[in-house]
């Protein structure tokens, strides 16, 4: 069996982007390792949600541990950087933020884990972080560099299929989807073109775990959120396939698993 390290920017990103793949890999007997760059310090939370003297990062750390257990992760690590906020906000420039991190130093932190695990597979995000979030872009940069240092050959960029996203937006009423996120500029900013996607993982059999993983992140993903308020048919349509771009894959590569060709 192989070892896959899933590298994400914030708590809950693993649920949304790769939760089904993680659960499927664990069920197949592969070792699943979750690495989070930050503790999501700048997420939004309603007044009074946290306990007295509780910090959001503490709650999100606990939520991530619960999510990792649901998804079958054997190990959870935080790289120790601070959430950088959305692009263009003051948090981008804060000392200790992931966006301000020295890529070489951050890559070495991740490479240490990759070597320790003798990782066969690493997931990052596409080169614009799926939608331009600074921490997601940094995950791409740091992850690619760490893979080179640790000798991990199979690196997958978790992304969104632009064509599928646009189609779902058009079918929102038919599927019973709640209001879709703003799709203005989707052709330029959201995810990647369908033709560059190499790997489509069918995770329909693991959607219960994916949903429960999202629910574990209750401080950020409430039951009335876009993610959890959709009916089962819509949830399957949106989340039933997780897509990736395998770096350096031959042109025309089409596969349905992160572990194709591994022992």
> Using CA atoms, how far apart are residues 2 and 121, in angstroms rounded to an integer?
8
pLDDT value at residue 185: 41
Superfamily holding 3-246: LmbE-like (3.40.50.10320)
pLDDT value at residue 188: 54
Residue range 130-152: mean pLDDT, rounded: 97
**Which of 85-94, 168-177, 242-251 shows the lowest mean pLDDT across its residues?**
168-177
- Start-to-end Cα distance in the chain: 7
pLDDT value at residue 187: 43
pLDDT value at residue 175: 86
> Using CA atoms, how far apart are residues 80 and 255, in angstroms rounded to an integer?
34
Place of tokens 């990736």: 244
pLDDT digits (tens, 9 = 90+) for 205-223: 999 999 999 999 999 999 9
**Rounded to 5 degrees, what are φ and ψ at 27?**
-65, -30
Contact 70, 20 (CB under 8 A): no
pLDDT digits (tens, 9 = 90+) for 155-209: 999 999 998 888 888 888 888 887 665 544 434 578 999 999 999 999 999 999 9
Question: What DSSP line would sit under the chain, residue for residue?
Answer: --EEEEEESSTTHIIIIIHHHHHHHHHTT-EEEEEEEE--TT----TT-SPTT--HHHHHHHHHHHHHHHHT-SEEEEEEEBP--STTSGGGGSTTBGGGS-HHHHHHHHHHHHHHHT-SEEEEE-TTHHHH-HHHHHHHHHHHHHHHHHT--EEEEEE-BHHHHHHHHHTHHHHT--PPPP-TTHHHHSSB-GGG--EEEE-GGGHHHHHHHHHH-TTTS-TTSHHHHS-HHHHHHHHSEEEEEETTPPTT--BS-TTTT--
pLDDT digits (tens, 9 = 90+) for 51-84: 999 999 999 999 999 999 999 999 999 999 999 9
**Rounded to 5 degrees, what are φ and ψ at 244?**
-145, 160
Domain map (residue ranges) of the chain: 3-246
Q: How confident is the model at residue 104 (pLDDT cuts 50, 70, 90)?
A: very high
pLDDT value at residue 144: 98
Please state at what angle helix 207-216 crosses helix 19-27, rounded to 10 degrees.
120
pLDDT value at residue 179: 67
Looking at the chain, the whole-number percentage of residues with pLDDT higher than 70 is 96
Q: How confident is the model at residue 113 (pLDDT cuts 50, 70, 90)?
A: very high
């Amino acid at each position: 069996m192989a070892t896959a390290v899933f590298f994400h920017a914030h708590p809950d990103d693993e649920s949304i982007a790769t939760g089904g793949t993680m659960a499927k890999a664990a069920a197949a007997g592969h070792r699943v390792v979750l690495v989070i760059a930050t503790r999501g310090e700048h997420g939004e939370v309603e007044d009074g949600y946290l306990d007295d003297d509780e910090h959001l990062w503490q709650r999100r750390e606990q939520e991530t541990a619960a999510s990792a257990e649901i998804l079958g992760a054997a190990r959870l690590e935080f790289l120790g950087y601070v959430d950088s906020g959305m692009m263009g906000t003051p948090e981008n420039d804060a000392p200790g933020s992931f966006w301000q991190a020295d890529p070489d130093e951050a890559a070495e932190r991740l490479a240490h884990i990759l070597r320790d695990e003798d990782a066969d597979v690493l997931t990052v995000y596409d080169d614009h972080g799926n939608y331009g979030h600074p921490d997601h872009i940094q995950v791409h940069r740091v992850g690619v560099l760490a893979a080179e240092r640790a000798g991990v050959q199979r690196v997958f960029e978790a992304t969104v299929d632009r064509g599928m996203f646009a189609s779902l937006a058009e079918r929102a009423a038919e599927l019973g989807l709640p209001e879709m996120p703003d799709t203005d500029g989707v052709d330029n900013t959201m995810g990647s073109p369908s033709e560059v996607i190499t790997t489509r993982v069918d995770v329909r059999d693991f959607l219960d775990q994916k949903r429960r993983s999202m629910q574990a992140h209750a401080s950020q993903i409430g039951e009335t959120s876009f993610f959890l308020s959709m009916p089962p048919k819509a949830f399957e349509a949106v989340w039933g396939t997780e897509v990736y771009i395998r770096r350096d894959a031959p042109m025309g590569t089409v596969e349905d698993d992160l572990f194709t060709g591994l022992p």
